[in-house]
Amino acid sequence: MRFERCRTLFGEEGFEKIQSSNIIILGVGGVGSYALDCLYRSGVKNITILDYDTYDESNQNRQIGSEAVGACKLETLAKLYPGICTIHQQMTMLWLEDFDFSSYDIIIDAADTTKVKIELAKKEYKKLIMSVGSAKRFETNKIEVASIWKTHGDALARKIRNELKRAKFDRNFTVVFSPEEDRCKDKGSFVGVTGAFGLTICSEAIKRVLKQ
């Protein structure tokens, strides 16, 4: 059976929770595509992905599906992972304000827009698992999982913390981050780290589902 080893690991009751969970992934690039792959292979039936981009040749070092240069990410991933739901939409402040997240058990934020990430945290912190700072690094053993308030050594996490403090927001949400120092100034990336971020996020999502 396809999921026999998952059932053995998680137990029948646990695996039923995993299958019935409803998860949305915001952004399916170097981090989000690996989170998608992990969740799909673990038996999650209800997965929604949001993105609006097409694949560029420069994506091929780190993104699942990126061999289809010029193709829509959502259309490509929907073929690779039959049954997932797709939302072809840029993650903007206006979209975030209007979108109803109530049907989702977990929200995975693998998007890039800082302002939107901050507003998403304010709106949906209870369900949120956020990715920050996976680029410019190559040491997977530096990856950590913590509350946003216990993150350290990452510029994006620091900016998010500071903006939340200014807004007098003090609630907790889970962040996957790395304190490894930037290894370059430009947009360098390594699939060992971006993919490991996605797999770590998947692990955190599965753990959360099993606890519910």
**pLDDT confidence tier of residue 1, bands split at 50, 70 and 90:** confident
Domain at 98, CATH number: 3.40.50.720
For residue 130, the model assigns a pLDDT of: 98
If DSSP codes are grouped into helix, strand and coil, which group holds residue 27? coil
For residue 7, the model assigns a pLDDT of: 97
For residue 34, the model assigns a pLDDT of: 98
For residue 26, the model assigns a pLDDT of: 98
pLDDT tens for 28-69 read: 999 999 999 999 999 999 999 999 999 999 999 999 999 999
- Find the mean pLDDT for residues 159-179: 97
Give the DSSP per-residue string, 125-188. Answer: GGGEEEE---TT---GGG-EEEEGGG--S-HHHHHHHHHHHHTT-----EEEE--PPPS-SSS-
Q: Is the confidence at residue 158, as pLDDT, over 90?
A: yes
Q: 33 near 63, Cβ under 8 Å?
A: yes
Q: 8 near 42, Cβ under 8 Å?
A: no
- Find the mean pLDDT for residues 103-132: 97
Cα separation, 141 vs 159, whole angstroms? 23
Say if strands 174-177 and 128-131 run parallel, antiparallel, or are unpaired.
Answer: parallel
Number of domains into which the chain is organized: 1
Range 72-76, long-range pairs (CB < 8 A, 24+ positions): 73/28, 73/29, 74/28, 74/49
For residue 22, the model assigns a pLDDT of: 98
Cα separation, 76 vs 102, whole angstroms? 27
Percent share of the chain, pLDDT over 90: 97
For residue 187, the model assigns a pLDDT of: 86
Per-residue exposure over 35-61, b if at least 16 CB sit within 10 Å of its own CB, e if not: bbbbbbebbbebbbbbbeeebeeebee
Domain that holds residue 179: 4-211
For residue 50, the model assigns a pLDDT of: 98
Q: Is the confidence at residue 149, as pLDDT, over 90?
A: yes
Cα separation, 40 vs 123, whole angstroms? 26
Q: Output phi, psi for 91, to 5 deg.
A: -80, 90
Cα separation, 131 vs 200, whole angstroms? 10
**pLDDT confidence tier of residue 126, bands split at 50, 70 and 90:** very high
For residue 103, the model assigns a pLDDT of: 98
- Find the mean pLDDT for residues 84-91: 96
The enclosing H or E element of 42 equals none
Q: Is the confidence at residue 96, as pLDDT, over 90?
A: yes
